[in-house]
Protein backbone atom coordinates (compact mmCIF):
# COMPACT_ATOMS: atom_id res chain seq x y z
CA UNK A 1 0.00 0.00 0.00
CA UNK A 2 1.33 3.39 -1.01
CA UNK A 3 0.56 6.63 0.77
CA UNK A 4 1.25 9.80 -1.13
CA UNK A 5 1.62 13.02 0.78
CA UNK A 6 1.30 16.18 -1.22
CA UNK A 7 2.45 19.39 0.37
CA UNK A 8 1.06 22.44 -1.35
CA UNK A 9 2.62 25.75 -0.45
CA UNK A 10 0.25 28.66 -0.85
CA UNK A 11 2.08 31.97 -1.21
CA UNK A 12 1.08 34.50 1.41
CA UNK A 13 1.70 38.22 1.66
CA UNK A 14 4.51 39.30 4.00
CA UNK A 15 4.06 41.70 6.89
CA UNK A 16 6.80 43.48 8.79
CA UNK A 17 6.28 44.07 12.52
CA UNK A 18 8.05 46.51 14.78
CA UNK A 19 8.69 45.16 18.27
CA UNK A 20 10.45 46.67 21.30
CA UNK A 21 14.12 45.82 21.84
CA UNK A 22 13.46 43.79 25.00
CA UNK A 23 10.91 41.60 23.19
CA UNK A 24 13.29 41.21 20.24
CA UNK A 25 16.03 39.96 22.57
CA UNK A 26 13.73 37.27 23.97
CA UNK A 27 12.51 36.24 20.51
CA UNK A 28 16.11 35.91 19.30
CA UNK A 29 16.93 33.58 22.21
CA UNK A 30 14.20 31.13 21.10
CA UNK A 31 14.98 30.29 17.50
CA UNK A 32 13.18 26.96 17.91
CA UNK A 33 9.84 28.79 17.87
CA UNK A 34 8.21 29.71 14.58
CA UNK A 35 7.45 33.32 15.48
CA UNK A 36 5.65 33.93 12.19
CA UNK A 37 3.18 31.20 13.15
CA UNK A 38 2.78 32.66 16.66
CA UNK A 39 2.00 36.09 15.16
CA UNK A 40 -0.32 34.56 12.54
CA UNK A 41 -2.31 32.71 15.22
CA UNK A 42 -2.53 35.80 17.45
CA UNK A 43 -3.80 37.88 14.54
CA UNK A 44 -6.31 35.18 13.64
CA UNK A 45 -7.69 35.25 17.20
CA UNK A 46 -8.07 39.04 17.05
CA UNK A 47 -9.74 38.85 13.63
CA UNK A 48 -12.27 36.34 15.01
CA UNK A 49 -13.05 38.76 17.86
CA UNK A 50 -13.49 41.61 15.38
CA UNK A 51 -15.76 39.51 13.18
CA UNK A 52 -17.93 38.63 16.18
CA UNK A 53 -18.09 42.30 17.21
CA UNK A 54 -19.03 43.34 13.68
CA UNK A 55 -21.75 40.68 13.62
CA UNK A 56 -23.16 41.88 16.94
CA UNK A 57 -23.00 45.55 15.96
CA UNK A 58 -24.62 44.80 12.62
CA UNK A 59 -27.71 43.49 14.40
CA UNK A 60 -27.82 46.25 17.03
CA UNK A 61 -30.66 48.76 17.08
CA UNK A 62 -28.70 51.08 19.39
CA UNK A 63 -27.60 54.49 18.21
CA UNK A 64 -24.14 55.84 18.98
CA UNK A 65 -25.75 58.08 21.62
CA UNK A 66 -27.37 55.00 23.23
CA UNK A 67 -24.01 53.22 23.34
CA UNK A 68 -22.30 56.24 24.91
CA UNK A 69 -25.01 56.46 27.60
CA UNK A 70 -24.77 52.74 28.30
CA UNK A 71 -20.97 53.04 28.51
CA UNK A 72 -21.28 55.91 30.99
CA UNK A 73 -23.70 53.93 33.19
CA UNK A 74 -21.51 50.82 33.18
CA UNK A 75 -18.39 52.80 34.09
CA UNK A 76 -20.23 54.65 36.87
CA UNK A 77 -21.48 51.32 38.25
CA UNK A 78 -18.00 49.79 38.17
CA UNK A 79 -16.50 52.85 39.84
CA UNK A 80 -19.11 52.64 42.59
CA UNK A 81 -18.59 48.88 43.04
CA UNK A 82 -14.80 48.98 43.24
CA UNK A 83 -14.43 52.26 45.16
CA UNK A 84 -15.86 50.78 48.35
Distance from the Cα of residue 74 to its chain's centroid: 24
Query: How far is residue 45 from each of residues 39, 54, 72, measured CA to CA in Å?
Result: 10, 14, 28
Q: Is residue 67 part of a domain?
A: yes
Task: State the chain's maximal CA–CA distance in angstroms.
Answer: 72
Per-residue pLDDT, 59: 82
Per-residue pLDDT, 62: 86
Q: By the 8 A CB rule, do 35 and 27 touch?
A: yes
Per-residue pLDDT, 51: 95
What is the tally of structural domains in the chain?
A: 1
Q: Is residue 73 part of a domain?
A: yes
Q: Is residue 62 part of a domain?
A: yes
Q: By the 8 A CB rule, do 27 and 19 touch?
A: yes
Q: Is residue 48 part of a domain?
A: yes
Q: Is residue 22 part of a domain?
A: no
Q: Is residue 24 part of a domain?
A: no
Q: Which domain holds residue 48?
A: 36-82
pLDDT tens track for 9-67 = 888 899 999 999 999 999 999 999 999 999 999 999 999 999 998 988 888 888 889 98
Amino acid sequence: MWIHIIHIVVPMPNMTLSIPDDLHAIVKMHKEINWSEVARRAMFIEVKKLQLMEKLVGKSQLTEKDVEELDRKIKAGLLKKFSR
